[in-house]
Each structure stands twice: as structure tokens, then as C-alpha cells.
Amino acid sequence: MNAYETVIVVDPSLDESGVEKKLEKLAEVVKRNNGRMAAIDRWGRRKMSYPINNRHEGTYVCLQFFAEAGAPKDLTRVIQLDEHILRHLIVRGHIQTISAEPAAAEPAARPEPGPAGPPANPPSPEHRTSSSPGPAQAGRDPSAEGVPPPAPPSPPDAGAA
């Protein structure tokens, strides 16, 4: 058996008992395919991103179930024939327990400010420009470290033309 998750958007003109009848019908399709419902999560009435069939809101429901491989095809057929289900999406995969409850109000752990160090990924020398020295070169005098400064570029050879 495979794990599946289906999200459906039901016409908002349907009352709660109408939505329940639709869910019972979908659960029956799952049972016909040797499946079982794992969870039904009602997300409620929400505004949609864009209108579907001149509807700006829909009732969202998430169904999680285990069933044979043919169940999504049968479920899709039943959903497409139902004019009150505006949209649906069926995905196969690992089922996690989902909840529409907000997360606990614990303060997020913030890193303590420490001494400013070099950046984690300093730019490579070929990406640096002469007007912006890298962190290792800022404020240093190369001659003080015993390293001679780079030679200036040689002028083009006048006799080669």
C-alpha cells in the first residue's frame, strides 16, 4: 500500500453537511481500493489566489490515506465528475501528522553578537578590484612584511607594430 495526500477545494456555496457527504464519497472510493483513511484535516473557508468558476473563496480539505496504486486514478475520476469540487491535487509520499494549529510561542534562539571576524567565504583574489581591497589586504603595507610590491605593467612594445 502507498501513502497519499489529497487537497481538495470545495465550492463555498455547499454547507457543512454537503462537504461531509463529499468526504464520505471520497472515503468510499479509498475503501474500494483496499485503502484506509489516515486523517482528514479541514482547513476551512479561505480566499483563493485567483477566481475559479467566478468563486473567490473555497472550502479546503486535506485527506491523508493509504491505498493501492489504482486509487488515485479512481479518486481523480470521481472528483472530476463532481461539479462542487473546484480543484484537487493528489500526491504520493510519506505521510506526516499535519496540524493547522499555530506553532508554540517560544522565542527563537538568536546567535549572540561576537567579535567581527573575516567573512565565511571571502571573494577570490581574481574577483577583487583594485579599488576594493580584500579583508586580508585592508590597511596593510606589503613592504612592511618583507614582500615586495607587484611590478607595474610593462608598456607595450613600440617596435612590434
Residue 111 confidence (pLDDT):
59
Residue 12 confidence (pLDDT):
92
Torsion over CA of 81, 76, 31 and 97, rounded to 10 degrees? -130
Residue 160 confidence (pLDDT):
58
Residue 29 confidence (pLDDT):
94
Residue 154 confidence (pLDDT):
73
CA 57 to chain centre: 23
Give the global pTM: 0.57
CA 154 to chain centre: 55
Residue 153 confidence (pLDDT):
76
Q: For the domain 2-92, what is the CATH code?
A: 3.30.70.60
- DSSP codes of every residue in 8-77: EEE-TTS-HHHHHHHHHHHHHHHHHTT-EEEEEEEEEEEEEEEEETTEEEEEEEEEEEEE-TTHHHHHHH
Residue 114 confidence (pLDDT):
57
Closest by CA to 24, choosing from 40, 12, 11, is: 40
Residue 155 confidence (pLDDT):
73
Q: How far apart are CA 9 and CA 33, in angstroms?
A: 23
- Beta-strand runs (E) in 53-138: 55-67, 85-92
Residue 64 confidence (pLDDT):
95
Q: Which residues of the chain have pLDDT under 70?
A: 95-148, 158-161
